[in-house]
Structure 1
Amino acid sequence: MPSDTVLLDFFQHANVPITHHNKVELLKSGREKFIDLFANIREAKHHIHLEYFNFRNDSIANALFDLLAEKAKEGVEVRAMFDAFGNWSNNQPLKKEHLDSIRSRGIEIVKFDPFTFPYINHAAHRDHRKIVVIDGRIGYTGGMNIADYYIQGLPEIGAWRDMHIHIEGPAVEDLQRIFLTIWNKTTKQKIEGDVYFQAADSAGNTTVAIVDRTPKTQTRIMSHSYAVSIYAAQHNVRIVNPYFVPTSSIRKTLNMAIDRGTKVEIMISSKSDIPFTPDASLYKVHKLMKRGATIYLYNGGFHHSKIMMVDDKFCTVGTANLNSRSLRYDYETNAFIFDKEVTQELNEMFDEDIANCTQLTPEYWKKRSPWRKFVGWFANIFTPFL
């Protein structure tokens, strides 16, 4: 059975929403994302909903809030949510005075799960989603928060590569339901009604399944979606993921795919914004390399994209990292896109990025110092928490 049919059958049985006649546009850089997002926010007539892990307090966020304030003055409903931990871990966080100023301009902005004593209670189940819905017609998701470094990069790691998508069509209503569910739960409001669900019945020819991981209800859906995709692959699997320390179920399906002759290619970054992660990732991919996978170490900055392409038939773009944090704890949202042209566009990007990569080989591994190998082994012990 073709891999896309296998995955669609799984989604149907798992009650994952599948919609047809969507239009999907890839936004392959921070510049592309923000130009597109700002342009569509300017055209908003009724509401703008934003859910991000964090808004960095910098020039792009300030420009966004200025624009949102203009729309609020026009009578557009503006609701924004960010994760308390995501804000705290950000070295340019939104502080109380910033939030007071934003709210004074007509924007509703709330923290998801604010820190209260005992603080350890807030360690798990962070909201790592990135969702925007405009007028119920246009949706966005992907790997990017709101920060200058998606355009300018960071001194310590260079350019920041990332991926986002613009969606029109019935799949936007699935993103809207996700946003409104967590908004209403957090604020105790009751925002609902047809006015928030105005997506076109037919905007294109693309089938999209929105996979949403919600702790305590849909706990394994994201890892199962990845595992079924890899298990069903007949020809090739290509993955780009920034914090590649996969759970046992993903490792097992990758091993099975390699053993039956499926070509598995994985691209990870040589640098990361989180210490020890590159070493832990190298420890994992080295084992996959020895089994037969092709591993690329990206040297053109930090590749933060979370994408996978299977059999040139379908792909996924979203917020989930292939680590325990995303697959076992956090709120995450991925779009699985059943479209050969979109998948081909991602494959072409993958091929272009190989030019900025070093392939992991036995010779490369031998040249690594004993200390770096030890760091990778040691960091691997913490895989269940990374």
Structure 2
Amino acid sequence: YIHLESFNYRSDSIAKELFTLLAEKAKEGVTIKALFDDFGNLSNSRPLRKEHLKMLAERGVEMARFSPIRFPYINHVFCRDHQKIVVIDGKVGYTGGMNIADYYINGLPEIGPWRDMHIRIEGPAVQYLEKAFLGVWNKETHEGLKEGQVAHDTLCEGSGRRVAIVQRIPKVCPEIMREAYIAALDAAERKVQIINPYFTPTRKVRNAIKRAAERGVRVEIMIPGKSDISFTPDAGFYIANKLRKAGAHIYVFNGGFHHSKIMMVDERFCTVGSTNLNSRSLHYDYEINAFILDLPTTAELGEVFQNDKLNSTIMTREEYKKRSVWRRFVGWFAHLFTPVI
């Protein structure tokens, strides 16, 4: 079986290739179940339409929408399914920040290359990705599918690396992701490195970043210079500048849009996942992150960060002042909405 969950699948050449492959696997007798968020689907420029879903169903690819948009069209406000999960036969799993779209390869004209991060997991941790997928699948389809009904083979043994799968489930464990990030920041002794695309962290997360800087921890935060969403980046620049004043080191990535959601702590452990450091992810949506307690993996991500520094501008007082008075005002105004964006 193959289980997939994504915020959206853009109807383009990558999705076509993916669904062609899934249809071939379905012909071989593989059970295919795929989830997408209806708001995420309708908000992208090339959504999956009814005719696509009908064609996929006829070819053996079972699709389900999370929270279908219906009158009065406000259900998407409360929570969305922002998770990205793939589980194959209960043995191999993937999670991270990637959706299914051509721009991951080709970029977008207005922002340039699109950068992102996913992680491949084998071993016992995969069962927690499976559980997370089934929780949302059953909520939408009411099938009552259980792990025991799909895990046909035993899980492969882990490598000895410790992996914790942390899932934010609205109304069940709504604070867990925020608490996980704050606990990681409070545990830091030497260095924290963060890459996050929509950087408008909640007050408690900002305070944890400030506490780390006050303890003498070197806090390095990388934000994209360009974004696919207007308004939010201005708030992000405003907040990043405030954290710069509190002792954080801010790097503005110039190589396109960095959509990765990663954090490395003391070169000891790291996290890769779907969670943006904003209120939507920390207070409203379904999210999932892998927290990895492993030196080589953390070092590998640290190397990515170091290389991306070479294509970044350090935010100084002078650099921030180069932004127009209007953009700085928009940033101040936008940051007032951080409890909801």
- After TM superposition, the score normalised by the length of structure 1 is 0.87
Q: Tell me which residue corresponds to 2:312.
A: 357
SS in 2 for 1:378: helix
**Shift in Å, 1:193:** 4.7
SS in 2 for 1:280: helix
**Shift in Å, 1:366:** 2.2
Q: Which has the higher mean CA deviation after the structures are superposed, 280-289 or 201-210?
A: 201-210
Which whole-Å deviations, capped at 9, do the CAs of 1:3-39 have from their partners, x for residues lacking one? Answer: xxxxxxxxxxxxxxxxxxxxxxxxxxxxxxxxxxxxx
Q: Structure 2 vs 1, CA of residues 193 and 275 (structure 1 numbering), >3 Å: closer, same or farther?
A: closer
SS in 1 for 2:90: coil
**Shift in Å, 1:199:** 5.1
**Shift in Å, 1:196:** 2.7
Aligned-partner Cα distance in 2 for 1:151–1:199: 35
Which whole-Å deviations, capped at 9, do the CAs of 1:75-110 have from their partners, x for residues lacking one? Answer: 110000100000011100001111111111011101
1:180 to 125, 131, 134: 134
Aligned-partner Cα distance in 2 for 1:323–1:301: 20
Q: Tell me which residue corresponds to 2:284.
A: 329
Structure 1 residues 54-73: aligned runs within 5 Å: 54-73=8-27
SS in 1 for 2:11: coil
2:259 to 290, 304, 309: 304
Which whole-Å deviations, capped at 9, do the CAs of 1:210-231 have from their partners, x for residues lacking one? Answer: 0000000010000000001001
Which whole-Å deviations, capped at 9, do the CAs of 1:322-353 have from their partners, x for residues lacking one? Answer: 00000000000000000000000000010000
**Shift in Å, 1:194:** 3.0
**Shift in Å, 1:372:** 1.1
Contact 1:267 1:295 in 2 (8 A): yes
In structure 2, stretches of 5+ residues that fail to align are none
Aligned-partner Cα distance in 2 for 1:153–1:160: 5
Corresponding letter in the other structure for 1:69: A
Q: Tell me which residue corresponds to 2:57.
A: 103
State the number of aligned residues. 340
Q: Which has the higher mean CA deviation after the structures are superposed, 77-86 or 374-383?
A: 374-383
Aligned-partner Cα distance in 2 for 1:150–1:179: 23
1:341 to 296, 306, 311: 296
Structure 1 residues 164-313: aligned runs within 5 Å: 164-194=118-148, 196-197=150-151, 198=153, 200=155, 202-313=157-268
Q: Tell me which residue corresponds to 2:31.
A: 77
**Shift in Å, 1:320:** 0.2
Q: Which has the higher mean CA deviation after the structures are superposed, 190-199 or 131-140?
A: 190-199
SS in 2 for 1:222: helix
SS in 2 for 1:80: strand
Which whole-Å deviations, capped at 9, do the CAs of 1:163-217 have from their partners, x for residues lacking one? Answer: 0000000000000011111111211112225353345352312100000000000
Which whole-Å deviations, capped at 9, do the CAs of 1:264-309 have from their partners, x for residues lacking one? Answer: 0000000000002221111001011111111000000000000000
Aligned-partner Cα distance in 2 for 1:182–1:278: 30
Corresponding letter in the other structure for 2:281: S
1:319 to 274, 291, 303: 274
Corresponding letter in the other structure for 2:276: N
Aligned-partner Cα distance in 1 for 2:150–2:275: 26
2:89 to 130, 135, 138: 135
Q: Tell me which residue corresponds to 1:148.
A: 102
Corresponding letter in the other structure for 2:24: E
SS in 2 for 1:295: strand
User: How much identity, in percent, do the aligned residues show?
Assistant: 59
Aligned-partner Cα distance in 1 for 2:214–2:147: 50
SS in 2 for 1:122: helix
Aligned-partner Cα distance in 1 for 2:185–2:154: 31
Corresponding letter in the other structure for 1:50: L
Contact 1:170 1:199 in 2 (8 A): no
Aligned-partner Cα distance in 1 for 2:273–2:150: 22
Which whole-Å deviations, capped at 9, do the CAs of 1:118-155 have from their partners, x for residues lacking one? Answer: 21133121000000000110000000011111111011
Corresponding letter in the other structure for 2:96: G
Corresponding letter in the other structure for 1:222: M
Matched, 1:112 2:77: no
Aligned-partner Cα distance in 2 for 1:60–1:199: 31
Aligned-partner Cα distance in 2 for 1:122–1:353: 35
Contact 2:122 2:156 in 1 (8 A): no
Corresponding letter in the other structure for 1:108: E
Aligned-partner Cα distance in 2 for 1:283–1:199: 50
Q: Which has the higher mean CA deviation after the structures are superposed, 320-329 or 191-200?
A: 191-200
